Amino acid sequence: MSDQQQNRFQVDLRGLIDLLSQHLYSGPEVFVRELLQNAVDAIRARQQLDLGHVGTIEIEVVESRSGPPTLVFQDDGVGLSEQEVHQFLATIGQSSKRGNVARRPDDFLGQFGIGLLSSFMVTNQISVLTRSAREGDHPAVEWRGNTDGTYSVRPLKREIPCGTQVFLQPAEGFEEFFEPQRILNLARNFGEFLEPRIVLNSGGQTQVVNGDAPWAEWPVDPDEREQLLDYGRTTFERDFLDVIPLRSTAGSVTGVAYVLAQAVHAGARQRHRVYLKDMLLSNEAHDLLPEWAFFVQCVLNARGLRPTASRESFYKDRVLEDTQEELGGCLRRYLVEMARTQPNRFKQLIAVHHLAAKALAIDDDECLELFADWFPFETSLGTMTLGEYRQQHPVVRYVASRDQFRQIAQVAASESLAVVNAGYVYEVEILQRLGAIRPDIRVEPFDADQLSERFEELTQQEREETIEFERLADVTLQRFKCAVEIAKFHPTELPALYVADENSGFMRSIEQAQDVTEGVWTDVLGSLAQDVPSTYARLYLNYGNPLIHRICHLADERGQQRSIEMVYVQSLLLGHFPLKQSEIKLLNEGLLGLIDWAVTTDRGHE
C-alpha cells in the first residue's frame, strides 16, 4: 500500500488575476471584449440547437442613487445548467468550447477557459444568472464568484428566459469603466462588426452598437469604393489613395488594404486593424502581410487563424505564413494589373510608393521587368525614372553609395554624364538584377576614377608649368594616403575633386573611429584595418580653376603646401567624408593661420 498522499493544486485567484492583468491583457477594458465574446459564443451554440434563433445581446448600465452603478450583460444564448456552472464557470481553464467537433468549435471565439476572469480586473464579484436552453426544464441558476477565490451556486426560484445575465459593480478605482459612454465606446471598438444585434440601454435610451462590416460583401462592389475609403479615413484618421480588396483561403481572411497617401520609409511597420471571427483582435497587428507591403494599412477579418491567449495577436504557425503569402499575392496582383492596364495611375502610385514596389521587385523578376521603367532614381542629371534615363542613355551607369555619388555628381553633371545614385535601399540589387535578366539593358557600375578619363588633357606647356607643383602636392598629402593629379575639368568653380574607392573610404571610417575609441575597441578596429588592402585616395586639382591656377604659380612653397592642405580638407568636407583627428588639426591650423595673416597684414586706419 502506498503511503503517498495525493493532493490537489490550490489556485491563488488574486495572484492569477494580477498575472492576467499585468502580463496577458493590454488593459482592464478587455473585460468588455470577453463578456461580449461569451455572449456571442452562447448565441452561436444556441443556433446549433435551433437554426432559426437570431439572438440578441443587451448591455445595460443601471444607475443607482445610493450606490455604484451595475453593469448587466444579457444574452439569449444557450445558457448553462447547474452542473455546467460548476464545470465551466467555477473551474479555471475549463471551456465548453474546446474539443467537441460535433459542436463545431471553429465557430467559437473562446477556447482557453480564462476570459471570464478578466472581469475581476474591474470588479470584486461576478454574479451570473443563467438558464440552459438545452435543459429547459431545469431551474435557472445563480452563481457568484469572488476575487478571494470563493463562489456560491443556488437554484433560482423565479423564472428567467433561456440565456445568461452577468452583473458587475465597479471595484474601487474602476468606476470609469462603468460609465455608459465608455461602455458604448468599448463595445463598439471590440464588437462593431459582430453578428448578433447588440444594444446598449442606459438612462432610458437604447443605442445600437454594431453594424455591417467592410468585408460583409464579397467581391467588393466597385461602387462601394468611396464608402470604403470613407471608412478607412475615419478608422485610421488619415487619407488614402486607394482601397484594395483582400482575400486569403489560408486563415479564411477577408478585408481591405488602404494605400497610404504619403510615402513611408522602407520596412515601416503599418498598424493593421484585425478582427477574429468579426471581433476586434488588435488595431496594431503586424504579421499578416509580407514585409514589402509597407505601403498599405489594412482592416482584416480572419476566421481560420488561432489567437494567442491574450487574444491580441495571432499564433505564429504555418497557416499564418500561408495567409501572409496569399494576402501578398492580392497586393501583387493589384500592382501588376494596374501597371498593365492603367499606366498613368500606376505612375502616380509608384511616384509615392516606389520603395515598396522595389522591395517587392527584388525577389520577383516578373514585377521587376514590369515596374522597372517607372522606378524613379536620383541621377547626376536630376531625378528621373529609369524609363526616361534609358531613352537618353544607352548604358545605365550607377554608383553604389551615396558618398560616391556626392563625390562625383557635380563633375559628372558638368560633363553631361548621367550617373545613377544607387546608394538608397534596394537600388543596387534592383539594377544588378535588371542587368542580369534583361540582356537588352546594359547596367554598369561607375567608378569615380572613370571620370578622370573625361577630363581635358593639359597642354604640353601646362604640363611643364605644373609638374613641380604636382610633385609638391603629392608629397604634402602623402601622410593622408592621398595621391594628387592636376587636371582640367568642369565646373571650373570647383577647385578639386576628392575620389576615394571603397577600401580607402572604409579605412577612413576605421581611422576616424579609432580616434574616438579607447582600449579594447582600438585593438578590434586595428585588426579590422589589417584586413583591408591599403589603397590611396586621389585628389584631382582643377587647373581650370583660377584659385588653383594661382596657388600653382605662388613663389612661396610653404604657402603652396598650406593651400593644398586647405583645398584637401575642403574637398573632404564637400564630399561629407568624416574627418580624422589629423585633418581636423589641419583645418584648425589653416584657419588660425588665415586669421593671423589677416591681422598682421592689416594696417588699420593709419
Ligand X SMILES: Nc1ncnc2c1ncn2[C@@H]1O[C@H](COP(=O)(O)OP(=O)(O)OP(=O)(O)O)[C@@H](O)[C@H]1O
Q: How is residue 155 written as a grid cell?
A: 437554484
Q: Which is closer to ligand X, CB of 38 or CB of 169? A: 38
Q: Determine if 111 is a binding residue for ligand X (CB under 6 A).
A: yes
Q: Which is closer to ligand X, CB of 93 or CB of 219? A: 93
**Is 38 marked as a binding-site residue?**
yes
Binding segment for ligand X among 24-32, 94-102, 505-513, 587-595 (CB under 6 A)?
94-102
C-alpha separations of 334 from 38, 189, 215, 220, 346 in Å? 38, 30, 18, 14, 10
Q: Determine if 47 is a binding residue for ligand X (CB under 6 A).
A: no
Q: Which is closer to ligand X, CB of 38 or CB of 385? A: 38
Looking at the DSSP bridge assignments, the partners of residue 72 are: 60, 167
Q: Determine if 116 is a binding residue for ligand X (CB under 6 A).
A: yes
Residues 17-46 that bind ligand X (CB under 6 A): 34, 37-39, 42
Q: What CA–CA distance (Å, rounded) separates 383 from 420? A: 9
Looking at the DSSP bridge assignments, the partners of residue 141 are: 130, 155
Q: Which of 540, 564, 566 is nearest to 486 (CA)?
A: 540
Q: Determine if 251 is a binding residue for ligand X (CB under 6 A).
A: no
Applying CB under 6 A, the site for ligand X has a residue count of 23
Q: Shortest gap between Cβ of 93 and ligand X (angstroms)?
A: 8
Q: Determine if 115 is a binding residue for ligand X (CB under 6 A).
A: yes
Site map for ligand X, 72-91, x if CB under 6 A?
Answer: ---x-xxxx-------xx--
C-alpha separations of 365 from 31, 184, 202, 340, 438 in Å? 49, 50, 60, 15, 10
Q: Determine if 95 is a binding residue for ligand X (CB under 6 A).
A: yes
Binding segment for ligand X among 108-116, 318-326, 439-447, 450-458 (CB under 6 A)?
108-116
Extract long-range pairs of 582-589: CB within 8 Å, 24+ residues apart: 582/479, 582/480, 583/480
- Which residue in 70, 86, 107, 113 binds ligand X (CB under 6 A)? 113
Q: What CA–CA distance (Å, rounded) separates 603 from 396? A: 58
Q: Shortest gap between Cβ of 372 and ligand X (angstroms)?
A: 49
Residue with cell 557635380: 410
Report whether 246 contacts 255 (CB < 8 A): yes
Q: Shortest gap between Cβ of 178 and ligand X (angstroms)?
A: 19
Q: Which is closer to ligand X, CB of 135 or CB of 415? A: 135
Q: What CA–CA distance (Å, rounded) separates 57 from 417? A: 71
Residue 170 has φ and ψ, to the nearest 5°, of -70, 140
Q: Which of 231, 248, 227 is nearest to 293 (CA)?
A: 248
Q: Which is closer to ligand X, CB of 95 or CB of 123? A: 95
Q: Which is closer to ligand X, CB of 77 or CB of 544? A: 77
Q: DSSP H helical segments within 243-342, as ranges?
A: 318-341
Q: DSSP H helical segments within 283-317, as ranges?
A: none
Site map for ligand X, 494-533, x if CB under 6 A?
Answer: ----------------------------------------
Binding segment for ligand X among 93-101, 208-216, 220-228, 245-253 (CB under 6 A)?
93-101
Q: Which of 192, 244, 215 is nearest to 36 (CA)?
A: 192
Q: Which is closer to ligand X, CB of 164 or CB of 210? A: 164
Residues 157-196 that bind ligand X (CB under 6 A): 164
Q: Which is closer to ligand X, CB of 16 or CB of 114? A: 114
Q: Which is closer to ligand X, CB of 67 or CB of 93? A: 93
Which residues, 6 or more positions from 558, have their beta carbon under 8 angstroms from its beta carbon?
A: none
Q: Determine if 114 is a binding residue for ligand X (CB under 6 A).
A: yes
Rounding to the nearest 10 degrees, give the CA dihedral for residues 179, 184, 187, 190: -110
Looking at the DSSP bridge assignments, the partners of residue 143 are: 128, 153
Shortest Cβ contact with ligand X: which residue?
110
Q: Which of 316, 320, 315, 311 is nearest to 112 (CA)?
A: 311
Q: Which is closer to ligand X, CB of 165 or CB of 324? A: 165
**Is 164 marked as a binding-site residue?**
yes
Q: Shortest gap between Cβ of 39 and ligand X (angstroms)?
A: 5
Binding segment for ligand X among 113-121, 382-390, 406-414, 517-525 (CB under 6 A)?
113-121
Which parts are annotated binding residues for ATP?
34, 38, 75, 164
Which parts are annotated binding residues?
34, 38, 75, 164
Residues that bind ligand X (CB under 6 A): 34, 37-39, 42, 75, 77-80, 88-89, 95-97, 110-116, 164
